[in-house]
Amino acid sequence: MPIYEYQCGECGHIFDALQKMSDDPLKACPECNEDALKKLLSAPKFRLKGSGWYETDFKTGSKRNIADGASSSGGGASSSGGGDKGSDS
């Protein structure tokens, strides 16, 4: 649901309201109870709600576990590097 920003024309009170897109705009100010609210134009606001907001949620195949792939390739490079040094000696 979008978060809308309102300002009262009478008292100047500014606040945010979580509303459905199909809901009618608010009219009564919660501070002074006058019907003088105007919806403001502002940067979009949204809330990430629920579990699972991670970088890997929408990735597929080999891109899915980025952290695991980096740590395993780093470990493999150091062990093969050590083996090369041993064979040179």
Give all domains of the chain, ordered by start, each with its CATH number. Answer: 1-47 (2.20.28.10)
Q: Does residue 19 have a pLDDT over 50?
A: yes
Q: Does residue 71 have a pLDDT over 80?
A: no
- What is the structure's pLDDT at 2? 85
Q: Which two tokens stand for residue 76?
A: 């493999």
DSSP assignment of the chain equals --EEEEEETTT--EEEEE--TTSPPP-S-TTT--S-EEEPP--------SS---TTTT--GGGS-HHHHHHHHHHHHHHHHHHHHHHH-
Reported pTM? 0.50
- What is the structure's pLDDT at 55? 60
- What is the structure's pLDDT at 65? 54
Q: Does residue 46 have a pLDDT over 80?
A: no
| Higher per-residue confidence, 17 vs 72 | 17
